[in-house]
Each structure stands twice: as C-alpha cells, then as structure tokens.
Structure 1
Amino acid sequence: MAIESVEKNFRSGIEGRLALVSLVYALAGAIFSWDAYIALLRQYSVSYFYALPPMLLGGLAVAAVVANPRAPVAWLKHILRERALGASLTIAIFCLAIASFSTFKHHIPAWLPFFADEPLAALDEWLHFDDPWRWAHAMAPDGSSSFLSLLYGPGWFVEWLGMVLVAAFITDNRLRIRYFVAFAATILLLGTILRAAGASAGPIFYDRMFGGERFADLVAVLAADPFGARMIGASDYLYSAYLSDDAVFGTGISAMPSIHVAMAVLNALLLTELKRWLGIVGWLFAAGIMFGSVFFGWHYALDGYASTVLVLVIWWWAGRIVDAPARPV
C-alpha cells in the first residue's frame, strides 16, 4: 500500500508539472502575439464548442459498450464520477495550448524563410527513385481520392480531438499521463521547435513559394480530380492567409515534420495499449494519413518518416518517465 501511495503521488506530481508546462506554453504564445492568440483561441473555442458535446457523448457511449457490454450505464457512471473534473481541466488546458501551437505555427514563416524544401524534395526523389507523390497516385485505386480526402480532412480532426477526449477519461493514471506527456512533447518538439528547424512549405506550395514548375504535374493531377481540387482550394486558403498574415482557423504552412502523421501515430500507440484490435485500426488509420499526406502533396514522404520515428522515441521516453518510481533502486 505504501508503494502504491508513493507511485500515485509521483504520477500526480508529473500530471501537475505537465499542466504547468502546458499553461506556460500557452502563455508564451499569448505574449508573443496576443492578437493572433486571441483570434485563434476564439475560433478554436467556437469550433470545439460545437464539436465536443456530440463527440464526447458518442465517444463515451461507444467506450461504455466496448469496455463493459453487460453494464455500459454502470461503467459510464463510474467513469464520470472518477474523471469528470480532471477531464474537464485537461480539455480546457488543451484548448489554451493548441491556440498557442497555432500561433507559433502561424508566425514561423515570419521568423524563418522556407529554406528546407529544396533539399527535402531532392532527397525524397533520390530515396524513392522518383517523387513519392507519383508512386502514391500509381498505387491508389481509382476513386480513392474521395476516401483519402475524407480521411485526411475531417477524419483526422475527429480522431485527433476524439482521442484527446478518450485519453482525458482514462482511469489508468499511468497510461493517461504517458499519453499526455507524449502529446505535449510532440506539440512542443515536433510542432514548434523542429517545425522551425525544418521550415518547409511542402510540394503543393513549392512552385508558388519558389517559382518554376517543380511540382506542376502534381497540381495538374490534383486539379483534374474533384477531391484533389478541394485540396488545392484548401491550399489557396492557407496561402492567402500566409500572404495577408491573417490568423485564421487552421492557419500556418509547414511540411517538416508532419503533425498529421505524428498525432495519428501517437494515437495508434495509445489505442494499442487499450485494445489490440483498436491498435490495428489505429495503425491502419496512421498509414492512411501518411499515404494521403503524400498523395495530396501536403508533405514530402520524409516528413512522415521523421514524425513516425520521433513519436516512437517520445512514446518510449514518456513511458520511462511515468514508470520511473516502479523501477528498483
């Protein structure tokens, strides 16, 4: 019992420090650009206000049936009793920190020019004996662009936000804290620091940023498909915000590393810990996000490779931190 109490206090301490670091990160974004931070916080808060309740109710209902099919209502009451307050605080801190993440993402091009695109495009082509987007289009079945656009757009958003909700309600302290430690490290290291260190726009923006026709064939192929054309429209939206310096929903252009892939991989790792079959679904989803990121030209394949490797390291590191008191001295 004494050992269990020590471990519980230790993990509570980790959770408190994690909340503090997240709030400091949120404050840093607000101090750096108050107008952008408030604009983004308002936009995300409105979006989450409408998205969170149905996702929360639906997610908890599904989780109750999966976790305890014989008594889902009893399970649901237990979860709400155990985690309602803690989950609410977690979600509130998440919203504050994500607004800061988007603020930094929006301003990175103002700090640093997109200097990494040329070497990334060249290395991508050399490693794959051609531009990876060509391989992706050659491998994709006819009509798959509709599925990929759904997966990469609203599908990714729902999984990303949904998994934050799922993790916030996990009663296993070790697993919950490990996930949020890894989540915070991914946002800070990959989404902010490495995003600046590898400042790049991605294939879909390449010709607009640097001139020439390096990826003209990609744009032509996308434009010929209605779902690819939607992706071009989304890139036009982001490019317009980049030129006007408007902090709008989803603001920011960045390729290396891929946060889409990073978060999908992190969620796959959590799902694997919860249930093996959920893990399989999570890894298939992550593979689809990786494929879609190249198919639509948002990322170089290297962006996804780097994100996958780094998130695996971060997940291992987060596990070491959470498990530290359980190791023998």
Structure 2
Amino acid sequence: MTMQTEIDFGRRSGSAIASGKAFTSLLGLGLRKNIILLLLVLAYYLAALAIGVYTARPVNTLSPTILVLMLASLVPLFLASMIIWRFAYMATSVRPEKPIGWLVQDFKTTILFDYQRLLSGGIAIFASIFFVAAFSYVKEAIPELNPFAWDEVFARMDRQMHGGVDAYIWLSPIFANDTMIRVVDKAYSAWFLLIYFFVFVACMDRENPIRRNAYLMSFTLTWIIGGSILATVFSSVGPIYFQDFGLGDQFLPLKDILLRQDAQRPLLAVEMQTRLLQNHLNGTDVGGISAMPSMHLATSWVMAFHAFRYSSKLGCIMVGFAVLIQLGSVILGWHYAIDGYAGFLVAAACWFSGSKLAQIQSRIDEPLDVSSVK
C-alpha cells in the first residue's frame, strides 16, 4: 500500500484509522509535514532549558498539568475558529442554497473525517501550545537575563523621530477621547482572539500547505526573534511604566488620560497594565513586561501578510487592523512608536524567512504527497 493510498483510505473509511498500520503511517506523515516547525519549537525549548539552568529557575510553564489545562481551555476557541473559517468560505466562495446543511456536511468531511488533516493539524496545534508555554517562561526571565535599561534611549529616539515631542501627543487630538480610546482598547484585546484564530486555521489548512507553513513558521520566528532575542537585548518597559521604574514623569500626562477614562468606564488595557506591574513587583510568574519590539504589532503584520494569501480584500482589512494596533499601542501607553516600527521590520524579515522555510518544507512533503502541494 502506498502512502497516498493509505491517505485516501483514511479519508474514506472510519475503520481504517483503527488499524495500527494506517494510524502509524498517518502519524509519521503528520510529523514529517511539520518537521521544520517541530525543529524550531524544539530548538526554542532547549534554549528555555538553558535559560532555566542559567537563572536557576525551573521551566515550570511546561509541566504536563499546565499544558493539558492550556489545551483544554483552547478547545472552545479551536472549534469556534473552525466554524467561522468554514462559514466564511461558504459565504464567500460556495454560497449554497441550504447553508446549514452544507456547513454540517462540510465540517464532517473537511474536519472530522479527514484524518490526515486532524493528525497533521493536531501536531501543529500541540507544537504551538508547547511553544507558547515555553515563550511565557522566557518572557518572564527577561529582567533576570538583562535588567530593563533601554527606556530612556528609546524615549529620546522616539521624540527625535517625531519632531521633538512624544508620539502620543501627535495622536491625542484624535484619540485622547472616550470613543477612540475604547475603540483601540477593544482592538488591542481582539488581537488575542485573532492570534488564536489565525493559528488554528493555519494548522488545519490542508488546501495550501505552503500558505499554511509560511504562516506557522513566520509566526514562530517572529516570537523567537522579536519576542525573545530582541526583547532581551533591548529590554525595556514602555511609556506606561516609565514613572513606575523611576525614569521620570515624562509620560505622566498619558497615564492620567488613561486613568481618567478608566475611572469612567474600566479599560482592559489599564487592568492588564496594573496586573502586570503588580506581578512584576511581587515576583509572580504571570505575564512579563516587555516593550521593544511591539509583538502586538509584529504579529498583526504577519497576520496581514498571511491574509493576502487568501484575498486582497482580507489582506487590506488586516493591514487596517495592524495600523490601528500601531496607533493603539502608543495611545494606550504600551509602546513607544518606534517599538511598532521595529515590530514591522521584524515581521517583514520573519515573513520572508518563514516563506523560504515553507518552500523547503514543501520539498520535504513532495515525495510523500505530491497532490497536496499547491
């Protein structure tokens, strides 16, 4: 039996998956189709272990209990992402006469009984969860590896780049009001849902493996290079914490704007900023403070680049979202504007590198399943 025959057999027959030989073949294929992603995650995990040895702090975010809890908590988001993905495809491309019936049948054939998709996608999802857990540990370790020291430099550079004033002052006439602050606050929070949505959809995307792998590898590289390496080298806290870390009251007017708005109606940004600061001061291993580069912005651009692989319209929407995140990161005090500019450069470099790695992965895949590479 050839590999392709086993795949087709697995797609047609529910009983075939019970056979050890068929399952082993599909599992091996799934691992090989994710080999570069798995190697990236493994390398990052080894780096996290090395950091643990250096700092004498156990890598506790990777305990089996935490990983299982993370996986369980993400199952509803995964299911919602799959339904939204297939609904959007139906609404824009298929437009059937009986949408509900089509959606139910499509979910069965495309997700539930496509065993290659389930195994390959499941491997990628678990690798992504494992990576996120490792990243959480590394981010928390940044102050120990390199204490915050770059804020005054970045604040000065930011002023010089924006005509001698802080970037938030340029935005204040438009954004320093209740309506716009709440718009960017909600957009900043929506980023968390979009990140999971794009990852889950990419993991389960069998129609275009190069598109799938370009996103997953770019996403992973962006967090490794931007969120870990550069964040450690250029360790900084951002404008909102400028005064809290004894750097002066330069950004106190911005903080006052946010606190006034929060007093009227709570802002999610203020709640998170307060929690992160308290956790840092109390030594609690939750969150982690890091400003340069802006990972909200970097990953938003990676999502935008990926969206263009689907359609120019979706790509333009995501570009708009990335621009809103750039503006929001400044007016909410999370970042200096240059953190966002650096985030864009990181995203562009990682998208280029991830796309190249996806091409290499496609050459690894080709002998196994030529028909799946588009």
Matched, 1:236 2:267: no
Q: Given the superposition, is the C-alpha separation of residues 15 and 46 from structure 1 closer, same or farther in structure 2, using an over 3 Å criterion? A: closer
- Matched position secondary structure for 2:333: coil
The alpha carbon displacement at 1:35 in A equals 2.6
Are positions 1:138 and 2:173 aligned together? yes
Letter in 1 for 2:277: Y
Using the size of structure 1 for normalisation, the TM-score is 0.87
Cα distance in 2 for partners of 1:66, 1:201 equals 43
Q: Tell me, what secondary structure is at the counterpart of 2:201?
A: helix
1:109 equivalent in alignment to 2:135 = no
Question: How many angstroms does 1:238 deviate by?
Answer: 0.2
Cα root mean square deviation, aligned: 2.7
Q: Does 1:83 align with 2:95?
A: no
Cross-structure match for 1:60 = 86
Percent identity of paired positions between Structure 1 and Structure 2: 26
Shift of 1:22: 0.9
Work out whether 1:219 is the aligned partner of 2:277: no
Match of 1:192 in 2: 228
Q: Max radius of gyration: which structure?
A: 2
CA spacing shift, 1:66–1:85, aligned 2, 3 Å: farther
**1:126 aligned partner:** 160
CA shift for structure 1 position 141: 7.4
Which of 42, 48, 62 is the aligned partner of 2:74? 48
CA-CA distance at 1:28 after TM superposition: 4.3
Report the counterpart of residue 59 of structure 2 in structure 1.
34
Kindly tell me: are residues 173 and 55 of structure 1, through their superposed partners in 2, closer, same or farther at Cα, counting changes over 3 Å? Answer: closer
1:204–1:298 CA contact under 8 A, matched in 2: yes
Could you list the runs of 4 or more consecutive aligned residues of structure 1 that deviate by over 4 angstroms after TM superposition?
11-14, 39-43, 71-75, 227-230
State how far apart, in whole Å, the 2-side matches of 1:85 and 1:57 are.
18
Equivalent residues in 2 for 1:248-287 (5 A)?
A: 248=286, 251-287=287-323
Equivalenced residue count is 315
Q: CA deviation at 1:50?
A: 4.3
Contact 1:26 1:99 survives alignment (8 Å): no
Residues 1:208 and 2:238 aligned together: no
TM-score normalised to structure 2 length: 0.77
Shift of 1:322: 3.1
Cα 1:40–1:197 change in 2 (3 A) is: farther
Q: Give the gaps of 5 or more residues in structure 1.
A: 1-10
Deviations 1:206-253 (A, max 9, x none): 1101243121111111111136754233211001111122122xx010
Match in the other structure for 2:41? 22
CA 244–84 in structure 1, closer or farther in 2 if over 3 Å, else same? same
Change (3 A) 1:62 1:288: same
**1:148 corresponds to:** 184
Contact 1:267 1:282 in 2 (8 A): yes
- Structure 2: how far apart are the matches of 1:127 and 1:66? 43
Counterparts of 2:125 and 2:159, CA distance in 1: 41
- In 2, the alpha carbon distance for the partners of 1:252 and 1:47 equals 21
What amino acid maps onto 1:57 in structure 2? I
CA distance in 2 between counterparts of 1:46 and 1:218 reads: 39
Is 1:179–2:205 an aligned residue pair? no
Unmatched 5+ stretches in structure 2: 1-29, 53-57, 97-101, 364-374
Q: How much has 1:260 moved relative to structure 2?
A: 0.5
Q: State how far apart, in whole Å, the 2-side matches of 1:114 and 1:42 are.
A: 33
When residues 40 and 76 of structure 1 are mapped into structure 2, their CA distance, relative to the original with a 3 A threshold, is: closer
* Preserved CA contact (<8 Å) 2:31 2:120: no
Q: CA deviation at 1:42?
A: 6.2
* Larger deviation, residues 169-178 vs 20-29: 20-29
